[in-house]
Amino acid sequence: MNKNLKKYLLIFLLFFTHVTFGQSVVIETTQGDIVVELNPEKAPNTVKNFLTYVNEGFYAGTIFHRVIRDFMIQGGGFDKNLNQKETREPIQNESKNGLFNETYTIAMARTNDPHSATSQFFINLKDNYFLDDGDGYCVFGKVTSGHRVVQKIGSLPTHVKEGMGDVPIKRVTIKAIKIIN
């Protein structure tokens, strides 16, 4: 490949990456840090909602309360005593945005109501394309660093606690989520 072609390919890739994904955050946990690149172009309202919680410091002290091996890790809604935090109003589901529930993507958790997502999110531990069926679960970013941390959390043993299943026996606390660019 000649030098100019390499240069233009690099410029194209940098432009494409910048256009497709934008702001990044670091999820600081007791198991290590996870860097997530958000995609406001494909999921503008979801990213705005997430960043509102980030800017308010909402996630500090919440836990990864649900871990299902070879599926996903979920957090952002419960404190260390499994008390659910009060949230803002639910947002509209933006799941049909061209992003898919693939390994290391981050998506909004919700109830059976497709427009019920508030603060909780999950990180996919594998390709979970079935979550894109029907109303789907809105992907709004991808993990760019901290894959080992995600896998470590995803392999923790779980139990039933306070009537909730899949709770990690060893608590994983989100110390903070911070914008890094």
DSSP state of 24: E
Q: Check residue 164 and give its pLDDT.
A: 95
pLDDT exceeds cutoff 80 at 162: yes
User: What is the pTM (predicted TM-score) of this model?
Assistant: 0.88
166 burial type by CB count under 10 A (0-12 exposed, 13-18 middle, 19+ buried): middle
Q: Rounded to the nearest 5°, which phi and psi values hold at 110?
A: -155, 175
Number of alpha carbons in the 13 Å side-chain half-sphere of residue 108: 35
Q: Rounded to the nearest 5°, which phi and psi values hold at 32?
A: 130, 180
pLDDT exceeds cutoff 90 at 18: no
Average pLDDT over residues 75-86: 98
Instruction: Kindly provide the residue ranges of all beta strands, DSSP E only, lying in 43-138, ordered along the sequence.
Output: 62-68, 72-75, 105-108, 121-124
Are 155 and 31 in contact by the 8 Å Cβ rule? The answer is no
Q: Check residue 5 and give its pLDDT.
A: 55
CA-to-CA distance for 174 and 60, rounded, in angstroms? 6
CA-to-CA distance for 72 and 120, rounded, in angstroms? 13
pLDDT exceeds cutoff 60 at 12: no
Q: List, in order of start, the domains of the chain with CATH numbers.
A: 22-179 (2.40.100.10)
pLDDT band at 6 (very low <50, low <70, confident <90, very high): low
Q: What angle do CA 6, 7, 13 make, to 5 degrees?
A: 85
User: Mean pLDDT of all residues in the chain?
Assistant: 92
pLDDT, tens digit, for every residue of 113-153? 999 999 999 999 999 999 999 999 999 999 999 999 999 99
pLDDT, tens digit, for every residue of 51-73? 999 999 999 999 999 999 999 99
Average pLDDT over residues 41-59: 98
